[in-house]
Each structure stands twice: as structure tokens, then as C-alpha cells.
Structure 1
Amino acid sequence: MSRRIARVQLDSPLPQLDRLFDYAIPDELADATTPGVRVKVPLRSAGRMVEGFVVEVDAEDDADRPLSEIDQVVSPAPVLPERLHRLARAVADRAAGSAADVLRLAVPKRMVRAEKAWLASDGAETPVVLSAERAAASAVLAEFPDLEERLRAGERLAVDAPPRLDEGRPAWARLLAAAAATTLAGGRSAIVAVPDHRDLDLLQEQLLRLVPDAALVRHDAGQSGPERYAGYLRTLEAAPCVVIGNRSAVYAPVVDAGLVALWDDGDTLLEEPLAPYAHARDVALVRQSLDGCALLFAAHTRTADVERLVSIGFVGEAPAARRASPRVVLATAQEHEQTSARIPSASFRAVRDALETGPVLVQVARPGYAPSLVCADCRTPTRCAHCGGPLHAHARGATPVCGWCGRSAHAWTCQNCASTRLRLSSSGSERTADELGRAFPGARVVVADGAHPVREVDDRPALVIATRGAEPIAPAGYRAVLLLDGDRMLQAPDLRIGEACLRWWSNAAALAAPGAPVHLVGVTGPVGRALASWTQPTYARGELAERAPLRMPPAARVARVEGDHAAVDRALRSLADDVPGLGGDAVLGPVPIERDGAPGARALVRFDYARGAAVTRSLRASVLSAAMSARGRGGGKDRRRSARIPLAVRVDIPDPEL
């Protein structure tokens, strides 16, 4: 006799449980056990109950096969549709991770009250986009010839957003809102992911002008649990919608996805900090390949990752009918000026003239007053005597404070020369505001950084001192933009620091009023020239060409393998056997590291995109093998110590550092 069984995806981080498990369905749960519902099932090897999702319900003829039974159906709501499980499995396989880790990011925690309200409702009605709103959206997209038709055809496109303000708001927000509204008007859902809550507010404001409120779903980590869960349940319904949110919004399980769009994919906030560490850009690419929807990358700059896709023809370009760019000036000190002057005379005059008519934006590298201090005699960086952390000052003449432990250094002495004198080696947002306030007496000064969030300033004259990424919007645009500390930003030990600086500066320049000068101080190299000529894609192509001979990302994929010495060695040997032709220079290392207080090893593996599936499959098998070999070693304290995963793998690391 046949019997009904359920294939369950367990909610467990253990790599050895990353597969579907068969469970028998008892008669009393036959009606409630449907695909997508949450269940509790026994885990025979651990002797405990674990939660999971029913992925499939099937019938088998071998009724004598010993199977455990489902213990409980936690909820009748089918919260895991097959399309989301398929996406989670594909993302996990690409990143050598577990599907359960992906689902933990995609499916919010259950909220009973919100779920009951959703189950009692009749479902959302199909939203109607009025002809006037549809015409307005089409007019915005008309700036890019054939963009609307290409999105409707499901193409993959890269768009350079116009660097300007439209009706007091960034033009990029109107562009993405129009693309989403056009998709919704065609009867399909759209998903738009942006880096942070400020971008999300701007996008929502523009969308509410084009789509019905009931069709807009916001997916935000700042929402309450019930709000976020209710929004997730709305995306499960057949009625199309527009989903906007941060990096995890790309997992939204809409029924018929017509568009997935990303704004500013170079922002590090779109990198997932939790396993399996899949970037929102990579998830969007995987989803597009599965759903066949349109894919849109929009930004003021072009990352090397997107440029690689454009160069091989996988992603197309959609240029604007008319090219627009800000008026960028590369400002350097004149012959008669001190080379140590922070603001050249030409930039100083531009700021003074602009203050007569409106606000001026000054971008600085770091917040605070003096983010770093050095010994006044030998220039050795100051360190805390208790923890070794860096010291910084909150104000002129204030007692230095440790940035790690927060202790005050009342009687600081240099460990190198025994001097007791300190020197301010850098200027943060507050010190810059202090200096410019004295240089322009009577001017209104506004500080915008992490400690002083400011979203918008009026059009009255003011000096707006902002850290990168925290720049407020001036509705009529800034009358001048001054980009300071550029040379210091470029000195950061980061493979992608040039890309990052160009992105920070371009986003700030896009806030300038038409014709307003944008002064980049102290930078004259390739990054400065790319900003001045507004040729960010050309800079990205140059970066890609430089990384190709070194096989650095994104010219090649890079995986980091770390763990116990023996586990790392076994993984590298298995990789060489499983992926022939990988090359002798594919592996860098291993090098010794300290891991969880014990000695370990770390190695980097460089591989081509064509070998990606084989490499990730081999590395995942090594993780599973290491986890199984560590299972059950010892007892008591030894058993708890052995629970540490002996091997960890992260694929597609953006900056390979040994």
C-alpha cells in the first residue's frame, strides 16, 4: 500500500542537514500538511524536535520503509512557496552554503496575530495603475530610448542614473519608481532593492505618486516584526505588487516577477554579512536566470562587477538620449600656496561666492572632531595604555578618549619617545565645521553624520559638513560642492578603494544645482579624471583590465577557506582532484591564523566563472565531510568544543586579504 510523505527542509545551520528529509504524514495531519507550511519534526540522530518547511508532498509505494512522522503542523499558512525554495537552493549552491541559511534571511519570523489576520482575509485585489500615472512613468523612462520596451522584454540592463535633482528629489528615485510602476501596470510584480533607509524613503515617496498604496510593500529591517511579516505574506498573494527594501528584498516571493532592480550595487550595505554571504547583486542575477524577469542595475557609477557583465554581453547598456554631467573641478594648491593647505584658494573663493545664494556641501572622510591623534614630537600614532586602541579627541583641548574601550587618557605618554604632547593628525566633521565656521564668520553651519543625522536642508545659505553617504538633500541643489580628504580616502588598504571613492564623490556631485561647481581637492589621478569627465564606466573597465592578470575579483571568483590545518589541507587536495585544470596558481596559501583561540589555517582559491559550479560543489562537500568527522567527538566540555565547525568557506569575497 502507498502512503503520503512530506519532504521537509529543516531549519538548521548544520551542513550535514542541508537536504530534504522524508517524513511520514500521520492521518490526523493529512489535510493540514501541504507544501510551504511550517512543521515540527523529530530529528532522530539528535533526539529532539526541530522546525522546518514542507517543500513537497508525495506518495510512495514502499510503505515498509522506516520513516519518522511529522509531529506538528505549526501553522497552516503556506509561507514557503516552491519558487522561493528553488531560489534559496540555487543561491546556496552558488555560494557553497546551506539553503536553510538563505531561508532564514528570506522568511521573517512568524507573527501569530499578523498571520491570523492574513488567513482570514480574502486576499488583495489586483491594483490598478491609472492612465495618468502610467503616462507619467513612461515620460520618465523616455529619457532612455527603448528602456521601457527592453524592460518589458525581460532584458538585463545597466543604466547610468542622471546626476541631478528632479522636483527637489534625486532623479534616480524617479527613474526606479517609474520602472516599477510600468511593470505593475503591465500586470507583473517589481522588486527594488536599495542600500539604506534614506534611499528607501526617497523611493517610497516617488512610488506613492505612481502606484496605489495597497500595491506597495516595504521590506525594512527597521520595521516591527508584525509589520514585516504582514508585508511578506502580502508578497505571497497572486495580486501583483511593488516590493521595495534593503538587500534581503531580492528574495521577496512574488508570484510573477517582472522586474528586479538594484540601486547603487557598489554600496557595501548590499553585501550580506551572514552566511552564505551572498551579495544582493548575485542573488538578483540568480533570480533573473530562474524567473526570466527584467534586471536593472542603476547607479551614478559603474562597479567593476557590472562592467564585467557588460563587457561579455551578459548585461546590456541603456544610455540616456542626452548625456548630462556636473561641473567638476580638480582643485590643487597653486604655486604660491602652502601645499599643506586643506582648501585651495580657488575652492575657498567658490565656497564664499556660493554662500551668497544658497547652501554649500562639504564632504569629509570621517565623523567626530579629531578621529586620530599622533605624538607631537615623533608622529607615532597614539594608543590606549589599557587595550591598545586608537585615541581620538571630542573637541579642541579635550582629554583623549579610546575608540575601543572608552577610557580617558588623562596622563598619556608616548611609548616611543616618552613625550606627553599630542597633535591632531586628522579633521573629522565636527572639527571641519569648527574651522570653516571661523573661516566664514556669520555663516550657518550644519553637521550631518552618523551622530547628527540630517535628511534635508532648506535653501538658505549654509555650510553643510557631511560625512560620505550622510549628505542631506537641498531641494534646489547645492550652490557648490567641496570634496575634501580625497587623498586620505584613496590611501585606505582596500582593493576597491578607487571604486568606493568614485562612488562617494559621484553621489555627492549629483546633489549639486545645475551648473554649480564641484571641487575635488587634492586628487589628480585616474579616479579624479573619471569624476571630472564623468566617465565612470571607463574607469571600471580600467580597473577590470588591471585585475585580470592578477586574477583578482571580479575578473575571477575568489573563495576563502579557513579552519583547522588538517581540514583545510584535505579541502584543497579534494579540490585539486575534483576540478582538474584549476591551475597551480589557483591556491594562495595556506597561511597560519588564530581561529577561536586555536591555531588554524587560511587559503584563497581563485577560479574562473566557468568552473564556479564545480569549485563550490567540491568546497561544500569538504565542509560537509569536516562537519561529519567532527560529529560526536568526546563528551562534556570536549563535546562542546568539538561542535565548532572545523572548516568554513566563503565564496565571492570582495577584497581578498590573507
Structure 2
Amino acid sequence: MTGGSVARVLVDSPLPQLDQLFDYRVPDRLRDAAKPGVRVRVPLRSGGRIANGWLVELVASSEFEGRLSDLEDVVSEVPLLTPEVWALARAAADRAAGNASDVLRLAVPSRYVRVERAWAGAEPDAGPLPSTPPPVHGAAEGRIEAGLRSGERMWFAADPRPVRLETGAWVGAWAVTMAQAAAHVLADDRSSLLIVPDYRDQEQLQAALEAHLDARRIIRTDARQSGGARFRSFLDATGADARVVIGNRSTVYAPAARLGLIAMWDDGDSLMNEQLAPGVHPRDAALIRQEQSGAALLFVAHSPSVELARLVEIGWVREIPGARNARPRVIPTEHQAAHEPGSARIPSAAWRQAQEAVREGPVLVQVARPGNAPLLACDRCREPARCATCGGGLAIPREGGVARCVLCGTTANGWACPTCEGTRLRAVTIGASRTAEELGRAFPNTRVVLSDGEKPVLRVGAESALVVATRGAEPIADGGYRAVLLLDGERMLLRESLRVAEDCLRWWSNAAALVAPGSPVFLVGVGGALATALTTWRQGDWASAELASRRALRFPPAVRVASVTASTANVARAVDAAKAIDGVDVLGPTPVDESLARALVRFDYAAGAKVARELRSEMIRVATERRRPVAGRPVRRPAVLRVRFDDPEVP
């Protein structure tokens, strides 16, 4: 077809065979409204259906020689999909053998017509740009600022202490570092995307930003916002004014005028793992977007992920030195005296220090899990005790009595360890609620504060208090904690996961960074390399050593892994196609249930594009395979081949 306008449209569909641009003729009635980036409705040839889609681009002609169908309608009045976000979505989806439309569902929030029309009719007022931002906190003089100007990829170990803002609020030093970096970029009339794991971090980061910038320049994208408020924030980000956008993992896809910085706090946090297809980690999306845009990329953490250690090792990311060698005073207690009676499983030295510290201010006690019931393990080999009926954990009820399963309630009479055949049980984890109760009895005149996922506390004052918090839910204290006690380390390390040691080191590091300068941090019941890394505050060295160990075993992130799940026959065909590529090996397949099997495809990073194309082709083949109905048998559901690259659930 030649002459007139042709719209190239991405259909919003999870079907892999539809993950391409389709050409449609733009009818005269829609010529003014049909612009790149708007939502549209288009007809599909099968069954006369109408589908939603994105108008990606307008071209003068189509390579299709037949008759093009017309666009059905233009849905949005404002272009919502910018060319930069489309390029990122396409590249991220291709890297993970996924659909670009799935990525765009993460990138663009649901549309609210009234909000869109009000925004289109309003006069933008983004406030003034900052004039002379202060030096970036914690870094060697001028090193981060130079990287921001040249568009470098950087990793920086945050100053591990709380900082008081001019407003009087206390935040982690990492938040000040990121806010000041964004202020430098905004002073050059460029935008920033600041990505954090959850709303607790957003609160600190927003407070730090408001101490350095006009609040009108700050855009917050938060799942806790109403749908309309979130859509309004997205529309503000599509404007021509430079902004600072803060939010969780999906913020990496936010539109931004003249993007100058992508900054990410604590990229190893499990909350950064994208659960929705195609499951692209925001760290990987940020690396893609940095290459496409030329913006600076800044990773900030107390304990770097092993993936980040790999990027530093290969020279793709540069480590920025700190201005000073500040670190918390961490004291491991593995070989200290036994627990005192009524001390909530706290060693005697740490117990005495907590008694003294609580007179001066708040003391933090980090525990592994919420609740009351103590979880149990074998007294001989320390393996977690499991129910013989359903495999759930064994615990002692709050009211006491015989150990029973936390899932099915079966009592553990006659329990024997399947590993060492031991018959004695020991408590390895007491929940936050029971720990708070025990400490309340031990400190009768002290206020006890409980913070967990159900009842989160964001901050506490400088007055005396015992703060019992589950990992990741520790509130920030004005002036810092006078002591920090890290309990249940032994139990945390019992979790079956390749990343358990990495996660524990990060949890402990983030909690230790909340302590007041010079105050002690007690690590209870943990020794070895992890305790050394925390005590010396050299988490980067530990991550590098862990990377070397994984490289010897061909474990991620030394190599990439894709999980392939389907029927046994389809899994076999998919992995055979992948195995033809150099540097690829396959683990499995192993049965998942009666009808499905799963295989793990391991491959070098250089082979990633080829592996993704081969597995993508197999997904399309399975999805489009025709099935003839058989008389007397129920109609089978279409076969599915599920592929997940860099699957965080792979042990």
C-alpha cells in the first residue's frame, strides 16, 4: 500500500506470536488524533475481535502488499508512550524472550480520563531549578559529580550512618547521597529516576530530596497512591520539564525529559525482583536504558549484590571511593558467654551493653520472623524440623505444649531427623511478638516498640525504647540507635537458597547502618567469612569471593540461567534447540507435576541473544501449534511453554 498514513501498532496481548508491529491504515476521521504514543483499538483478523494496542510510529507506506485494515479508534488524547520508553521495553523484552506489551503494562499505569483531560488543560508549574547543589555526600570530592557529567556507570558504598537534614528529619546517609546527585543533574536541566525497594525507602528519599529541591520538581510513583494520583504523576513525568522521579522497581521505565541520571538503592533486595512477565530485573533494565540514553547510572548500597560485583569486576561499572573510612563497630558474639536467664536468647555481653544503652536512647533488636511461635530445628545437626505429613515447619504453640506443624497442625510425637536421625529439638527462631514480650518483662520500665510487615513503624524518637523489628522493617531512629542486636543469624542462614548468605549480609548491614556513630552492633551466633565481612565492613570483598565460588560451579550470576517449563516433549525440543549454541548446557528436565517438566538452560552472557531467540521461537511454535479435537475426549487447553530468564526462584 502506498499513499496516506500507516500506523504501526503493538497489540496488547500476552500471545508471543502477536509480539510484533502490525500495520493499519489511518482513516481520515482519526488523522488528527493518531499520534505516536497514543493508545488505540484495532481489529484482529481472527473472529472479528477488537484489541487494545499502542501506536508506536507513523510511516508513509507499508511493506504489506494486501489491503490494510483501518484503525478502529484512538483511545487516549495524550501520547503516553514515549520513543525512549518504547525502545527500552522492546530491548528488555528481547533480552528476556518476553513480550514488549507485558513490559509496557509495568511502564504505563491505567488511564483515568478525567485526570488526563485536567492535566492537558493545566498550565505546567515545575518550580525553579536548583542553583548551586552541595557536594555529593560521602564520596571523594568531585568523583560522583564528574561521573554524572560524563554519563558513567558507578557503584558507591553508602556512608553507614543516619544523617540529620536541615528540616530536622533523620534519614539514612544513602538517601542524602542520591538526593544530592539528583540535584546536580537537575541543576543542568536534566531528569533523574531514583529507584528504591519499598515505600519505607521512598519516605527517606523524598525527605532528603525536599531538603535540596523544590517539591514541585519531585514526582513520586507509588503503589500506595490512588490510581488517579499515580496516573497524574506519570503524566507529569511525560512533560517537557526536568523532574526527579522516585519509586519502586517499575520506575526504571518512567518517562523523563532529558534523562541525566538513573540511581538505584540496594539493587540486591528481593523486593527488586519483578514478579510479572517477563520478569526483567530493574538493574538489567537500568543498564539497557543507560546505554540507550547516555545518562549516568549510580548504584548505591551498603552491601553490593553479587551481580553488581560482577559488573565491577568486568569493568562495566566503576567503583567510586568514599571520602572516609567510616564503619559501624560490629562485635560478633559466636564465642561469647551463654545467654542469661530471661535475656531473650541474647548473649551476656550484649545483654549488659543493651541495659546500659537503653538508658541513653533507643536500642534495636532485629529478629528473623514475625509472630509468637518458636520455630524448631534438630538439636544435633541444626537442620530445620519439618512435619512428616506436609513438610511444614515445626513450632511450639504460644500457649506451650507439644511441638506441632505450623501448616496442618499435626503434632510432632516421635519426630526423628531425616538427616542425622536425632530426636531432640531446639528453638532456633522466636518471632518478633514473643521477643517483644520477653524484653518487655526483662525491661519493665522501658517502652517496647514492635515493627513488622503488618504493623510497620517508619521512625522512632531519640528517647529510651527497645525496638524489636523483623528484617527490612527496622525504623530509623533520631540520632541513630545506641546499640543494635542482630539475633537469629543462625536461623536466617538455614533458608534453602543460593542467595541466603548474600541476603543475610545485606539485612545485617542495613540494620547496622542505623546505629549512632561509635555505638556497638552485636552479631549473635554467626561466625566465619560473613561475620568477618560485616565486622570489617568489607562486604564488597565478600561479594567478589562469592562470585569466584559461583563461577567455579557455573552458578548465576557468573552465567545466565533460563528456566523452561512445559510438557516433557516440548521441553525436550526447546532445550535441544538451545544446546546447539556454543557455551550452553542444560540441567534436567525434572518433573514439576503430572503433566509438566522443567529444565534449566545455562549459558554465557555472550550467547544470551541467541538463546533468547531460539527459546522465543519455540514459544511461538508451541502457541501456534494446531490441535485436532478427538471424538469422545474433552477439548485440551492450548499447550504453553513458559520461559523465565534470570529466574530468582532457581535455587
TM-score, normalised relative to structure 1: 0.91
- CA 1:336–1:588: 2 relative to 1, 3 Å: closer
Give the counterpart of 1:450 among 441, 448, 453.
453
Matched with 2:600 is 604
Cα distance in 2 for residues equivalent to 1:5 and 1:361? 63
Q: Name the amino acid aligned to 1:620.
A: R
Q: What's the CA shift for 1:389?
A: 4.8
Cα distance in 1 for residues equivalent to 2:349 and 2:415? 40
Q: What's the CA shift for 1:321?
A: 1.8
Cα distance in 2 for residues equivalent to 1:47 and 1:427? 60
Contact map agreement 2:16 2:99 (CA 8 A) in 1? yes
Contact map agreement 2:337 2:349 (CA 8 A) in 1? no
For the pair 1:162 / 2:159, whether they are aligned, the reply is yes
Shifted more, 443-452 versus 262-271: the winner is 443-452
For the pair 1:92 / 2:86, whether they are aligned, the reply is no
- CA 1:249–1:543: 2 relative to 1, 3 Å: same
SS at match of 1:395: coil
- Please give the residue correspondences for 1:557-568 in structure 2 after superposition, counting only pairs within 5 Å: 557-568=560-571
Matched with 2:421 is none
Matched with 2:420 is none
- Please give the residue correspondences for 1:530-549 in structure 2 after superposition, counting only pairs within 5 Å: 530-549=533-552
Cα distance in 2 for residues equivalent to 1:78 and 1:640? 42
- Please give the residue correspondences for 1:97-496 in structure 2 after superposition, counting only pairs within 5 Å: 97-122=98-123, 124-125=124-125, 127-131=127-131, 134-135=132-133, 137-138=134-135, 140=137, 143-167=140-164, 168-334=170-336, 342-372=345-375, 381=385, 383=387, 389-390=392-393, 395-397=398-400, 403-404=406-407, 409=409, 412=411, 414=413, 426-496=429-499
The percent identity for this pair of structures is: 50
SS at match of 2:321: coil
Cα distance in 1 for residues equivalent to 2:303 and 2:176? 17
Matched with 1:654 is 648
Matched with 1:642 is 637
Q: Name the amino acid aligned to 2:151.
A: G
- CA 1:142–1:522: 2 relative to 1, 3 Å: closer
Cα distance in 1 for residues equivalent to 2:444 and 2:63? 87
- CA 1:447–1:393: 2 relative to 1, 3 Å: farther
Q: Name the amino acid aligned to 1:592.
A: P
Q: Name the amino acid aligned to 1:322.
A: R
1:579-633 CA-to-partner distances (Å, cap 9, x unmatched) read 2x225xx111111221xxx42211111111111111111111111111111x565
SS at match of 2:477: coil
Contact map agreement 1:141 1:147 (CA 8 A) in 2? no
- CA 1:212–1:336: 2 relative to 1, 3 Å: closer
Matched with 1:522 is 525
Q: Name the amino acid aligned to 1:346.
A: A
Q: Name the amino acid aligned to 1:94.
A: R
Q: Name the amino acid aligned to 2:577.
A: S
For the pair 1:571 / 2:567, whether they are aligned, the reply is no
For the pair 1:22 / 2:23, whether they are aligned, the reply is yes
Q: Name the amino acid aligned to 1:226.
A: G
1:544-580 CA-to-partner distances (Å, cap 9, x unmatched) read 0100011111111111111111111111121233x2x
CA RMSD of aligned residues (A): 2.9
Q: What's the CA shift for 1:370?
A: 1.3
Contact map agreement 1:141 1:148 (CA 8 A) in 2? no
Matched with 2:592 is 593
1:235-280 CA-to-partner distances (Å, cap 9, x unmatched) read 1111110000000000011131100000000101111001000111
- CA 1:632–1:183: 2 relative to 1, 3 Å: farther
- CA 1:74–1:401: 2 relative to 1, 3 Å: farther
Contact map agreement 1:553 1:655 (CA 8 A) in 2? no
State the aligned residue count. 636
Cα distance in 2 for residues equivalent to 1:273 and 1:540? 25
1:51-74 CA-to-partner distances (Å, cap 9, x unmatched) read 001011112277962211111111
- CA 1:188–1:262: 2 relative to 1, 3 Å: same
Cα distance in 2 for residues equivalent to 1:63 and 1:448? 61
- CA 1:62–1:540: 2 relative to 1, 3 Å: closer
Matched with 1:51 is 52
- CA 1:374–1:612: 2 relative to 1, 3 Å: closer
Give the counterpart of 2:624 among 628, 649, 656.
628
Q: Name the amino acid aligned to 2:588.
A: G
Q: What's the CA shift for 1:342?
A: 2.8
For the pair 1:77 / 2:72, whether they are aligned, the reply is no
Q: Name the amino acid aligned to 2:645.
A: V
Contact map agreement 1:382 1:414 (CA 8 A) in 2? no
Q: Name the amino acid aligned to 1:348.
A: W
Cα distance in 2 for residues equivalent to 1:652 and 1:482? 34
1:303-336 CA-to-partner distances (Å, cap 9, x unmatched) read 1111111111110011112111000111134468
Contact map agreement 2:138 2:324 (CA 8 A) in 1? no
Contact map agreement 1:333 1:344 (CA 8 A) in 2? no
Matched with 1:66 is 67
Cα distance in 2 for residues equivalent to 1:76 and 1:568? 44
Contact map agreement 1:193 1:246 (CA 8 A) in 2? yes
- CA 1:38–1:605: 2 relative to 1, 3 Å: same
Cα distance in 2 for residues equivalent to 1:128 and 1:380? 58
TM-score, normalised relative to structure 2: 0.92
1:472-514 CA-to-partner distances (Å, cap 9, x unmatched) read 1110111111111111111211111111111000101111011
Which runs of 5 or more structure 2 residues have no equivalent in the other structure? 165-169, 417-423
- CA 1:147–1:576: 2 relative to 1, 3 Å: same
Contact map agreement 1:593 1:601 (CA 8 A) in 2? yes
Contact map agreement 1:41 1:72 (CA 8 A) in 2? yes
1:75-103 CA-to-partner distances (Å, cap 9, x unmatched) read 22111122111110000011111101000
1:26-73 CA-to-partner distances (Å, cap 9, x unmatched) read 121122111111111111124310000101111227796221111111
Matched with 1:40 is 41
Cα distance in 1 for residues equivalent to 2:402 and 2:51? 53
- CA 1:61–1:75: 2 relative to 1, 3 Å: closer
Q: What's the CA shift for 1:449?
A: 1.1
Q: What's the CA shift for 1:522?
A: 1.3
Q: Name the amino acid aligned to 1:656.
A: V
Q: Name the amino acid aligned to 1:642.
A: R
1:396-422 CA-to-partner distances (Å, cap 9, x unmatched) read 4489997557xxx5x9573759xxx99
Contact map agreement 2:622 2:639 (CA 8 A) in 1? no
Q: What's the CA shift for 1:381?
A: 4.5
Q: Name the amino acid aligned to 1:280.
A: P
Contact map agreement 1:40 1:50 (CA 8 A) in 2? yes
Cα distance in 1 for residues equivalent to 2:155 and 2:63? 52
Q: Name the amino acid aligned to 1:106.
A: A
SS at match of 2:151: coil
Contact map agreement 1:127 1:239 (CA 8 A) in 2? no
Contact map agreement 1:333 1:345 (CA 8 A) in 2? no
- CA 1:335–1:51: 2 relative to 1, 3 Å: closer
